[in-house]
Amino acid sequence: MSAPTSSNYGFSTNQHDIRTANPLPRAVLRTNNYLLLDGEWNFALDTEDVGLRDLWYLSHTYHSQASWPGSVEAHLQLAQPDAPSWRDKVVVWYERQFALPERAEDDTHSLFQLTFGACGYETRVWLNGFQLSTIEGEDVHYGEYTSFSFELREEHLRPVNRLTVRIVDTMDAETPRGKQESHVYKRGGIWYQTYTGAVRSVWLEMVERNRLRSRVGVDSVIEDRMVRFNLTTRIHNPGAYTIRLQVFDPTATDGQPLATADFPLRLEVGQRQQRVVMELAGARLWAPGAPNLYRLVAQLLDEEGYSAQIETHFGLRKIESRGTYVYLNNKPTYLDGILYQPGTATYEEMHRHMHAMQALGCNLVRVHIAGVDPRIYNLADELGLMLWVEVPSPHSSTPRSRENHRAELLRMLALIESHPSVVIWSLYNEDWGAQDIATNSETRRYIVEMYHYLHINYPQFLVVDNDGWQHISQEGRLKSDLLTAHIYTPEVARWAEVLDHMVQGDLNNVAVLPLVIGDPFFYGRQKPLVVSEWGGFGFADYGGPQSAGERADRIRQFKQELRKRPIAGDVYTQATNIEDERNGLLDPHTGELSVPAGLLASHAPQPNTSAPETTV
């Protein structure tokens, strides 16, 4: 993920094809210049948290250096090799200088924007001693998994500029942490070492004062070949503007747009969202095996015709939870999934992982409660891999943890709602951060509210309330689009017995906890059943075969039992080894498979099943 040293000093032109050579960790491109600020930064640990009081952002002597991007944990180890790992709260400061790139003296349309690909959990930024506020107006940015930007004011800029960053993280169980340790869940077993701080690239770029932001939502009505785009405008000069959309078919040879549309509107100062609709007659649908993508060029034009442009790709697809099966583009589709925990993998390693998981025969990857480089979503779009994404969970259930959970969910949604590959969202996993789901009506109320919020505002996704067990029933209606279960057993006979219990509607003798809580719910094949975690062969706590050959044989046997029954999909655990979990099927560095290719691919349903023919 690190850039060549020369990128620290040159202003580069961002003219890459988003599908092949996007140099920055984002899903939307601008045809502009950027200065990548990755590389060596000054670094200091603020052990007593005195930096704010002592005005380190105005002046401080740094005795260590650290490579950005990277984790606080790695930087502390380099700066203080003998110091113990932090266990409660860490405060660190980073600083570097950069020369202001040249620009035209008469350029009144543009300004400098500073963007952090991801940094956290709590981040403050100063430029030449002046504290910056994000475009959303935050003096302190909270969050660890998504990008945030600052518009730089002319009066704060110098020929050579000093950029100062203060980062704070804690073991607070109320913040979204995923599987990183906290005060509640300690490192070991399925809980991992923290990996926080300056975890993704930071860059400077020229952007237009009046522009479309780098976020695009896409929802399609495939029966009418209609696409709804949700765009975000950022305006400094109020007035009449036009949004111009052009859609290009990458397979066409004439270079002409497939469709063009103009949408005039009057915009005030600030930021707003605008939905616009286009019809794409004859457009091909996106699906595994046929990942048809289209290129969107979106422009915001002012009254003088000055244009600010962004570019992304998208696909038309429809996902539904309908009776016993998941339907993709109106066809029943079995989900051949695998659990994926990227951990500290680099972008290049994650790229290899995605190709390897597809080679295993998967059409679905469940990205397990982690934020990933946005370019991975682009890659999944191109490969035709469906993604199941999850909000990194807090570790305790309180009003504040739910507030933090909601904020993280909304940040993630804003930046990855354009990808046809993203088909399923989980709000929680195995009660982590919602431990009182069965007894606390406030916890259930929040989850139900977010379930309905997503259905209304993001109809392009299926939503799972609490993956694994303890799904919420309200008035006999399941508040989850999938009825999921996590089932770990190494024995084929026991596996078949538990699957029979589940498909027969026994919701209490399948997983660790009852599958449904709240008001009574009677299965009756109203929702698709998905075994969203199983296997784990090789991990000591789950048992089962240790050798690759024995593991492959057992996986085949388990998959055969799944396909004998009206089950909509499964997710094998897991793709790679990670820390203490030694149950991966591919090398975490090279992506090389330890089992035969195609092992997780489904076959046609057995003749004695009542399920309809599925698309795999």
The pair of three-digit structure tokens given for residue 238, joined into one six-digit string:
């109020």
The pair of three-digit structure tokens given for residue 167, joined into one six-digit string:
């980062």
Is residue 79 pLDDT above 70, yes or no?
Answer: yes
Report the pLDDT value the prediction gives residue 603, as an integer from 0 to 100. Answer: 65
Is residue 32 pLDDT above 70, yes or no?
Answer: yes
Report the pLDDT value the prediction gives residue 379, as an integer from 0 to 100. Answer: 96
User: In a 10 Å sphere around its CB, with 0-12 CB exposed, 13-18 middle and 19+ buried, how is residue 501 labelled?
Assistant: middle
Report how far residue 391's alpha carbon sits from residue 447's, in angstroms, rounded to the nearest whole number. Answer: 12
Task: Output phi, psi for 32, to 5 deg.
Answer: -135, -170
Q: Are 339 and 190 in contact (CB under 8 A)?
A: no
Report the pLDDT value the prediction gives residue 21, as an integer from 0 to 100. Answer: 52
**614 or 366, greater pLDDT:** 366
Q: Are 569 and 524 in contact (CB under 8 A)?
A: no
Quickly state the pLDDT bin for 462 (edges 50, 70, 90): very high
Is residue 10 pLDDT above 60, yes or no?
Answer: no
Q: What is the pLDDT of residues 265-289, one digit of tens each?
A: 999 999 999 999 999 999 999 999 9
Is residue 616 pLDDT above 60, yes or no?
Answer: no
Q: Are 290 and 309 in contact (CB under 8 A)?
A: no
DSSP assignments along 157-223, one per residue = --SEEEEEEEEEEE--TTS--TTB--SSS-SBTTBB----BS-S-EEEEEEESSEEEEEEEEEEEGG
Rounded mean pLDDT, 41-47: 97
Quickly state the pLDDT bin for 545 (edges 50, 70, 90): confident
For the sheet with 331-332, list strands across it.
Answer: 319-322, 325-328, 331-332
Q: Are 268 and 288 in contact (CB under 8 A)?
A: no
Q: How many residues does the chain have?
A: 616
Q: Is 563 helix (H, G, I), strand (E, B) or coil?
A: helix
Q: What is the pLDDT of residues 407-431, one digit of tens each?
A: 999 999 999 999 999 999 999 999 9
Report how far residue 139's alpha carbon sits from residue 126's, in angstroms, rounded to the nearest whole number. Answer: 10
Rounded mean pLDDT, 467-475: 97
| Residues β-bridged to residue 246 | 260, 297
Report the pLDDT value the prediction gives residue 104, as an integer from 0 to 100. Answer: 82
User: In a 10 Å sphere around its CB, with 0-12 CB exposed, 13-18 middle and 19+ buried, how is residue 519 labelled?
Assistant: exposed
Report the pLDDT value the prediction gives residue 3, as an integer from 0 to 100. Answer: 34
Of 129-138, 465-474, 583-592, 601-610, the least confident: 601-610
Rounded mean pLDDT, 229-255: 96
Task: Give, to the nearest 10 degrees, the angle between helix 399-416 and helix 441-457.
Answer: 10
Is residue 308 pLDDT above 50, yes or no?
Answer: yes
Residue bearing tokens 């009505």: 221
- Reading phi first (left if > 0) and then psi (alpha if -120 to 50, else beta), residue 431 is in left
Quickly state the pLDDT bin for 22 (edges 50, 70, 90): low
Report the pLDDT value the prediction gives residue 31, as an integer from 0 to 100. Answer: 80
Report the pLDDT value the prediction gives residue 80, as an integer from 0 to 100. Answer: 87
Is residue 564 pLDDT above 90, yes or no?
Answer: yes
Q: What is the pLDDT of residues 149-190, one digit of tens each?
A: 999 999 999 999 999 999 999 999 999 999 999 999 999 988
Report the pLDDT value the prediction gives residue 87, as an integer from 0 to 100. Answer: 84
| Residues β-bridged to residue 220 | 227
Q: What is the pLDDT of residues 89-111, one digit of tens each?
A: 999 999 999 999 988 888 889 99
Report the pLDDT value the prediction gives residue 12, as an integer from 0 to 100. Answer: 52
Rounded mean pLDDT, 538-558: 90
Q: Are 369 and 179 in contact (CB under 8 A)?
A: yes
User: In what helix (H) or strand (E) does residue 267 lie, and over which residues does it extend?
Assistant: strand 259-267
SS (H, E, C) 400-458: HHHHHHHHHHHHHHHHHCCCCCEEEEEEEECCCCCCCCCCCHHHHHHHHHHHHHHHHHC
Report the pLDDT value the prediction gives residue 98, as an integer from 0 to 100. Answer: 97
Report how far residue 604's alpha carbon sits from residue 613's, in angstroms, rounded to the nearest whole number. Answer: 7
Closest CA to 479 of 456, 452, 460: 452
| Residues β-bridged to residue 180 | 192
Is residue 62 pLDDT above 70, yes or no?
Answer: yes
**190 or 237, greater pLDDT:** 237
DSSP type of residue 604? P
The pair of three-digit structure tokens given for residue 142, joined into one six-digit string:
């909270």
Average pLDDT, the chain: 92
The pair of three-digit structure tokens given for residue 461, joined into one six-digit string:
């996704």
Report how far residue 399's alpha carbon sits from residue 383's, in angstroms, rounded to the nearest whole number. Answer: 40
Report how far residue 17's alpha carbon sits from residue 27's, in angstroms, rounded to the nearest whole number. Answer: 11
What's the sign of the alpha-carbon dihedral 578, 580, 586, 589?
positive
| Strands 141-142 and 39-45, bridge-based pairing | unpaired
